[in-house]
Structure 1
Amino acid sequence: MKYLLVLAVVIIAIWLWRKGRQEELRSRPPPPQPPRPAVGAPTEMVRCDHCGLHLPATDAVRGNAGRIYCSAAHRKAAEEQG
């Protein structure tokens, strides 16, 4: 019988402790949100005149007469074709 009494006291103590913890957590202000990473400006996209691949203008290779290619190999291949 005394074990039941001790068990009841322990259960009530745990319940009271958890109830106090939950109220403390609810009353706390929410943590600040981390800042969002800055998004860069959009980049102009161009099309390779040899294979049709779209790529950023900063990565493009310029050829004769202002033509645009995705690589030096495609520029060379297009110039060899005529």
Structure 2
Amino acid sequence: MGLFRLLFWIALIAAAVWLWRRLSRKSAAPRRQQTTLSMVRCARCGVHVPRDQALQAGEQWYCSRAHLEQGSESGGH
């Protein structure tokens, strides 16, 4: 009976330590905040690029300097 009691206490302590480590790890982990990027469509080729990387001419957006210089006359969808 003594061996059963000893194994019970060892299992109980191990479970408590495991649970404590699991809960403390989750609360200490930094939370990443999701951010969404505003996307715009290139007037020349139609590819979508993040707004902060796109080039604007008037109300048109372009994915690169070459497409900005070429304009939208022969491209786009």
TM-score for the superposition, normalised by structure 2: 0.62
Cα distance in 2 for partners of 1:54, 1:48 equals 6
- Describe the shift of the 1:48–1:80 C-alpha distance in structure 2 as closer, same or farther (beyond 3 A): closer
| Aligned twin of 1:55 | 49
Q: What is the RMSD computed on CA atoms of the aligned residues?
A: 2.8
Unaligned stretches of 5+ residues in structure 1: 1-12
Matches within 5 A, 1:5-44: 19=7, 20-28=9-17, 29-31=19-21, 32=24, 33=26, 34-40=29-35, 42-44=36-38
For 2:39, the aligned partner's letter is M
Give 1:43 shift. 2.1
Taking structure 1 as the reference length, the TM-score comes to: 0.59
2:32 aligned partner, one-letter code: P
List structure 1 runs of 4+ shifted beyond 4 angstroms: none
Structure 2 residues not aligned, in runs of 5+: none
* 1:22-78 CA distance string (max 9 Å, x none): 3211133432102322222x2221100000011111111012x32110010111122
Q: Which has the larger share of helix?
A: 1
Question: Which structure would you say has the larger Rg?
Answer: 1
Of structures 1 and 2, the one scoring higher in RCO (CA 8 A, sep 6+) is 2
Provide the identity percentage. 27
Q: Provide the aligned length of Structure 1 versus Structure 2.
A: 65
